[in-house]
Chains A and B, each alone.
Chain A
Amino acid sequence: MTMDWLIDWTLSSWLGFLGSPGAFILAAVVGGLAIFGLVAVHAIVAVYVERKVSAFMQDRIGPMGQGPGLHAGKWGVLQTVADALKLLLKEDIIPALADRRLFILAPFILFMGAFIGFVAIPFAPALVLADFNVGLFYILAVSSFGVLGLILAGWASNNKWSLYGAMRSAAQIISYEIPAAISLLAVVILAGTLNLQSLTAAQQGTILGFLPNWFIFQNPFTFMAFFIYFIAAVAETNRTPFDIPEAESELVAGFHTEYSGMRWAFFFLSEYANMFIVCAVAAVVFLGGWTSPLGELLSGPLWGLFWFMVKVIFLVLIMMWFRWTFPRLRVDQLMNVSWKVLLPWSFINLLGSALWWLWRS
């Protein structure tokens, strides 16, 4: 949608001499840079917030910017910027016995999986890079590149901790993808579409005059589906309490033990980009995306962007809250939660939601 608009704009403006291939490349570059900017800014802000949130939860003060050397600003707001600079300047170490090519390739595959998902996310009524019919399914599908990136990173490092981390991670992500996808299906049945813009548009208005007409409030089954999806989403991003792939007390750092400098930063960027994506999917599918929680009040393109970001950031903060309050699960507990608790309940949700749809129509 925005892509088409960019191409049309380029062709009709003074840049028209570029012709259609040039306009296409320009639009793709502009879109890609916009996404990358969002991912980078989100990661920088989120890392700072995470440090502060964790500090407040543990009764510390977190980064404050005192001390010699690079000054991190008041309240340590420049801490992540300093960290990013450090990572850029750090020596890039590739272990002698690592598989060099795959070692270099792995972070890019991982990051690509997180990066291309942003293409389909509807930020506002007219702000989505590509508005296509299978948007939701597409986002779920490209997240599987992440698994491959992790496996390759773990294998190429030629380190047993990395390999264990990669295998745990793959098993975990594949297990939790299933309840997550089935929970989303409970909503897709009601909406009858996989297009993220139509899904959002279907949630405008109110129920009973005061509740926003979001899918989470549509029926008890979608209400439960939201929580199942969110738990599974936390597991898919490999964050505590589901962070056994990088459990530092057992595996050093899991699949990214051997990575340093900028390559390591890519693992970090993709973790935060993945957090954004799963929260954005939750916000679009269950919490109304860019629709206003106040009915017609405060709705419009810019307000849409505002509400969307508020919802996503709220969910990201909840993920951070999880990380600093819950202890890590064991491997067997993790598999039990997925296969014996979340999966049966998500099937019940799917069935219930389908029956609800039959009853209403």
Chain B
Amino acid sequence: MTTIIFWLLAGFTLAAAVMVVVSRRLMYSAVSLLFTLVGIAGLYIFLWADFIAVVQIVIYVGGITVLILFGIMLTNRIESVNISHDRVQMRYGLIGGSGLLILLLIMIFRTPWQVLPAVEPASTIDVIGRMLLIDYLLPFEVASLLLLAALIGAATLARRKR
């Protein structure tokens, strides 16, 4: 049963990802991206990474996708319904894309992956909390400082000059 659900979920994620690329309308791409990200959250659950899955939903579905949708809604006047994008430079894109795919495939099959036994961990939150706030406190704080700087920068840029 788990296998069936895994393949269904993987297929769903891939189909949504393909839709992101081939959709003619920007809004459809954004909505497909939403489904892709939800599918990835589902895949995390199969790795018993429940916390990461929920974080994925909070940040990517609740934050980034909303931001993208806002961007699309605000940059186009509502009267101009023709929000679409064309496929440009198909040939080069295809060459670059398949090159990257081959590279990744070689990497995937050559790496000696560390295989963990399929046992459910008791709790993932404790370990993550300990890691983030004790072992790796400095990188964590530096990252948050960077985000804060980006936030202030964005607010300054967006502010209307008086």
Q: Which A residues touch B43, using CB under 8 A?
A: none
Can you list 20 A-B pairs with a CB-CB distance of less than 8 A? A99-B81, A102-B27, A133-B51, A133-B124, A134-B51, A134-B54, A137-B54, A140-B58, A141-B57, A141-B61, A144-B61, A144-B62, A145-B61, A147-B66, A148-B65, A148-B66, A151-B70, A167-B73, A170-B70, A177-B62
Cβ-based interface call for B1 (8 A):
yes
Chain B binding site: helix, strand, loop or mixed by DSSP?
helix
Q: Is the CB of B73 within 8 A of A151?
A: yes
Q: Which A residues touch B51, using CB under 8 A?
A: 133-134, 137
Cβ-based interface call for B4 (8 A):
yes
CB closest residue in chain B, given A154: B73
Q: Is the CB of B73 within 8 A of A174?
A: no
Cβ-based interface call for A20 (8 A):
yes
Known A-B contacts A21-B1, A97-B81, A134-B125; the reply to A148 vs B34 at CB < 8 A is yes
Q: Is the CB of B31 within 8 A of A105?
A: yes
Q: Is the CB of A174 within 8 A of B50?
A: no
Chain A binding site: helix, strand, loop or mixed by DSSP?
helix
The smallest beta-carbon distance between B131 and chain A, in angstroms, is 16
Q: Is the CB of A151 within 8 A of B69?
A: yes
Instruction: Give complex CA distance A163, B78 in Å.
Output: 8
CB closest residue in chain A, given B51: A134
The smallest beta-carbon distance between B60 and chain A, in angstroms, is 10
Q: Which B residues touch A144, using CB under 8 A?
A: 57-58, 61-63, 66
Number of B residues with CB within 8 Å of any CB on chain A: 25
Q: Which of A155-171 contact B (CB under 8 A)?
A: 155, 158, 160, 163, 166-167, 170
Q: Which B residues touch A141, using CB under 8 A?
A: 54-55, 57-58, 61-62
The smallest beta-carbon distance between A112 and chain B, in angstroms, is 10
Instruction: Give complex CA distance A317, B125 in Å.
Output: 35
Q: Is the CB of A163 within 8 A of B73?
A: yes
Q: Which B residues touch A160, using CB under 8 A?
A: 78
Q: Is the CB of B66 within 8 A of A174?
A: yes
Number of A residues with CB within 8 Å of any CB on chain B: 32
The smallest beta-carbon distance between B61 and chain A, in angstroms, is 6
CB closest residue in chain A, given B74: A167
Cβ-based interface call for B98 (8 A):
no
Q: Is the CB of B69 within 8 A of A24?
A: no
Cβ-based interface call for A138 (8 A):
yes
Instruction: Give complex CA distance A152, B61 in Å.
Output: 13
Known A-B contacts A144-B62, A151-B66; the reply to A138 vs B54 at CB < 8 A is yes
Instruction: Give complex CA distance A194, B73 in Å.
Output: 36
CB closest residue in chain A, given B121: A133
Q: Which A residues touch B55, using CB under 8 A?
A: 141
- For the complex of A and B, list the 4 residue pairs with the smallest distance between their C-beta atoms, beginning with the closest: A144-B62, A141-B57, A21-B1, A141-B58
Other than the given A137-B54, A174-B66, 10 more pairs (CB < 8 A) read A105-B31, A133-B51, A141-B61, A144-B61, A148-B61, A148-B66, A152-B31, A155-B27, A155-B73, A194-B125
Q: Which of B119-152 contact A (CB under 8 A)?
A: 123-125
Q: Which of B36-94 contact A (CB under 8 A)?
A: 50-51, 54-55, 57-58, 61-63, 65-66, 69-70, 73, 78, 81
Instruction: Give complex CA distance A337, B138 in Å.
Output: 34
CB closest residue in chain B, given A195: B123
Cβ-based interface call for A266 (8 A):
no
Q: Is the CB of A155 within 8 A of B50?
A: no
Q: Which A residues touch B34, using CB under 8 A?
A: 148
The smallest beta-carbon distance between B53 and chain A, in angstroms, is 8
Instruction: Give complex CA distance A64, B73 in Å.
Output: 45
